[in-house]
């Protein structure tokens, strides 16, 4: 493959090259870091946002709990190791690519994304498929606002999300056949799920920018679905015609599907989903249908069998 000569690198050439290779499914050739550096912006340290009044009176987990017990396989399958392993992760500059069935394909720096969409706080329940849960005050904006800006066309039936592939950041992406899962991490939503007002793009939590271990600088949060749908450190958002094959379904289709709606009535093949352990608590509590958001989202699934489409 032809190597790029640094003097030939212009923002346009990188953009075109990256776009081209993304289309071929080889997005990693032109590093996103190089693109980001050309679009460099200083990160906004303090976030201005509209606070959530917490009408459901949810009891928040502490920041300490939410930042020290994580799932981020790109760093480690361990719950605590990503905290240290991600200490030096460079999350700025960072641009996200928007491609596919939209009005204008483009890359936008996270600082510009933050400037475009007014930030708000969302206190949400969060339930991992493994059986632990927490309540977190996220800061960001609903995904539909970003979609309104991108203007998906009539062919756009799903939204596909991809985590950055950069082995210089993520040690497990370096392990080849010994890596824990296949990278890059991919997720997807049906367009109506993506446009639901609860579906959120987070850039912060607990009043501050996201820490690397929680998916800095920008991630998805879908509160009625198991945590693995809430994909971290986004590199690409694409509007697509076909249902994306999400990472955990690809890894183990008997255990994980596309929908992953929190459902206490459908057990995981290896454990019950009826109960959950809240981080920092000793006992267990009952898991709620759609993680407590049934009133808001159950109608999206009235025509499908949630045992089959798990
Ligand atoms: N890229 C990426 N995104 C990811 C994961 C991951 O390993 N890699 N883990 C998922 C899982 S299983 C969960 S439960 C949540 C955890 O988010 P948190 O660590 O911020 O609590 O992130 C999800 N998003
Ligand atoms: Mo999870």
Which CATH number does the domain 22-301 belong to among 3.40.50.2300, 3.90.420.10, 2.60.40.10, 3.65.10.10?
Answer: 3.90.420.10
- pLDDT confidence of 31, banded at 50, 70, 90? low
Q: Which of 163, 203, 230 to mutate to test the pocket of ligand 1 (most atoms within 8 A of CB)?
A: 230
- Report CA(256)–ligand 1 centroid distance (Å): 14
- pLDDT confidence of 278, banded at 50, 70, 90? very high
Average pLDDT on 195-213 reads: 98
Instruction: Output the pTM of the full model.
Output: 0.90
Tell me the C-alpha distance between 145 and 196, whole Å. Answer: 10
The string over 152-178, giving b where at least 16 C-beta atoms fall within 10 Å of a residue's C-beta and e elsewhere, is: beeebebbbbbbbbbeebbbbbeeeee
Q: Which of 72, 127, 184 to mutate to test the pocket of ligand 1 (most atoms within 8 A of CB)?
A: 72
pLDDT at 41: 76
Beta strands in the chain (DSSP E): 49-50, 95-100, 106-109, 119-127, 132-142, 158-163, 186-190, 200-205, 208-209, 219-221, 234-240, 275-278, 285-286
- Report CA(49)–ligand 1 centroid distance (Å): 24
- pLDDT confidence of 43, banded at 50, 70, 90? confident
Average pLDDT on 64-69 reads: 98
Average pLDDT on 230-255 reads: 98
pLDDT at 38: 63
Average pLDDT on 18-41 reads: 55
Q: Is 212 helix (H, G, I), strand (E, B) or coil?
A: helix
User: What is the residue with the minimal CA distance to atom 11 of ligand 1?
Assistant: 228
With beta carbons less than 8 A apart as the criterion, state whether 1 and 29 touch.
yes
Tell me the C-alpha distance between 18 and 129, whole Å. Answer: 34
* Residues less than 5 Å from ion ligand 2, measured at CB: 71, 128, 227-228
- Report CA(171)–ligand 2 centroid distance (Å): 19
Domain boundaries defined on the chain: 22-301
Average pLDDT on 138-148 reads: 99
Checking DSSP bridges between strand 95-100 and strand 285-286, what pairing results, if any?
unpaired
Q: Which of 215, 221, 225, 251 to mutate to test the pocket of ligand 1 (most atoms within 8 A of CB)?
A: 215
Tell me the C-alpha distance between 143 and 199, whole Å. Answer: 6
pLDDT at 111: 98
- pLDDT confidence of 18, banded at 50, 70, 90? low
Residue 259 scores a pLDDT above 90: yes
**Which residues make Cβ contacts (< 8 Å) with residue 51, sequence separation at least 6?**
121
Residue 74 scores a pLDDT above 70: yes
């Amino acid at each position: 493959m032809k190597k790029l000569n640094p003097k030939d690198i212009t923002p346009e050439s990188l953009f075109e090259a990256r776009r081209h290779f993304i289309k071929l499914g080889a997005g990693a050739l032109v590093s996103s870091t190089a693109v980001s550096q050309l679009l460099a912006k200083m990160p906004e340290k303090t976030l201005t946002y509209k606070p959530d009044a917490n009408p459901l009176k949810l009891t928040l987990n502490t920041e300490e709990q939410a930042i020290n017990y994580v799932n981020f396989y790109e760093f480690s399958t361990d719950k605590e190791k990503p905290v240290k392993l991600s200490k030096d992760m460079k999350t700025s500059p960072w641009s996200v690519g928007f491609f596919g069935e939209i009005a204008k394909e483009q890359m936008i720096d996270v600082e510009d994304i933050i400037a475009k969409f007014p930030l708000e706080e969302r206190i949400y329940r969060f339930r991992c498929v493994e059986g632990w849960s927490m309540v977190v005050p996220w800061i960001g904006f609903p995904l539909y606002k970003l979609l309104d800006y991108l203007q998906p066309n009539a062919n756009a039936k799903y939204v596909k999300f991809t985590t950055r592939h950069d082995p210089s950041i993520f040690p497990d992406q370096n392990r080849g056949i010994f890596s824990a899962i296949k990278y890059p991490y991919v997720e997807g939503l049906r367009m109506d799920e993506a446009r639901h007002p609860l579906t959120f793009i987070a850039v912060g939590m607990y009043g501050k920018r996201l820490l690397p271990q929680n998916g800095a600088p920008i991630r998805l949060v879908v509160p009625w679905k198991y945590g693995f749908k809430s994909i971290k450190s986004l590199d690409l958002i694409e509007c697509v015609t076909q249902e994306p094959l999400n990472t955990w379904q690809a890894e183990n289709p008997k255990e994980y599907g596309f929908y992953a709606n929190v459902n206490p009535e459908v057990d995981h093949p290896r454990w019950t989903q009826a109960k959950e352990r809240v981080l920092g608590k000793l006992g267990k509590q009952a898991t709620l249908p759609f993680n407590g958001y049934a009133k808001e989202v159950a109608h999206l699934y009235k025509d499908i069998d949630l045992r089959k489409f798990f």
